Amino acid sequence: MLEQVMRERCCSLKVKLTVKGLVSFGLIVLAVLLPQLVHLTLGQAGGVRWLPMYLPVLLGGCLLGVRWGMGVGVLSPVVSFALTSMWGDPMPAAARLPFMMAELCVFAAVSGIFSKQIAKNGWMAFPAVLLGAVAGRAFFLLLAVLFQSVAPFTVETVLSQIETGLSGLVLQAAMVPLLVMGLRALIQRERE
């Protein structure tokens, strides 16, 4: 969405890179802080249920497109792991990290495919988020199937996590499109 807006405004490459870099940085910071807040208030079970890191990643896909969104999806768990490891309690756990990186990358890539359509019609954020979430969770399950002999996750464990996280995904399926549509409306208001 942001690429389309900056293209229409004839922004230079430097401006485009700066804006996308700052938005990406902000979303990664949010992706690190939200899980900390959820874990502090609701415990580890709250993180599994509400999937707080997924919200900024879905926003990244919708706002930034495929490539930049994927960067947010891959870097968010890495930065979170690196920072929280310094305190002795890494989030996500080391065994979950590569799976989460791959899953969030798919979340962002699929939602990012819709970025140009979202710039034209904000309602497209709804299918972007829904399809991104379904594809990401399906990819996580596929990885568990493929790597079950070497990974600490069984298919049953992943299915249980997917079931537990449904409430978080439903909440995000409503929140993220509304946030994206609100940002789109603000940007359009500035044009007038």
What's the one-letter identity of residue 50? W
Cα–Cα distances (Å) from 100 to 91, 143, 157, in that order, read: 11, 10, 14
Fold of domain 2-191: Arp2/3 complex 21 kDa subunit ARPC3 (1.10.1760)
| Rounded mean pLDDT, 28-43 | 96
| Rounded mean pLDDT, 30-46 | 94
Does residue 94 sit in helix, strand or coil? coil
Q: Which pairs from 79-84 meet CB under 8 Å and 24+ separation?
A: 79/28, 79/31, 79/32, 80/31, 80/32, 80/35, 80/53, 83/32, 84/36
- Domain boundaries defined on the chain: 2-191
Which tens digit of pLDDT belongs to each residue from 72-119? Answer: 999 999 999 999 999 888 999 999 999 999 999 999 999 999 999 999
Confidence (pLDDT) at 25: 98
Share of the chain above pLDDT 90, in %: 88
Quick one: tokens of 74? 């891959």
Confidence (pLDDT) at 44: 86
Confidence (pLDDT) at 183: 95
Which tens digit of pLDDT belongs to each residue from 119-163? Answer: 999 999 999 999 999 999 999 999 999 998 888 888 999 999 999
Q: What is the DSSP string of 2-53?
A: HHHHHHHTT--HHHHHHHHHHHHHHHHHHHHHHHHHHHHHHHHHHHHHH-TT
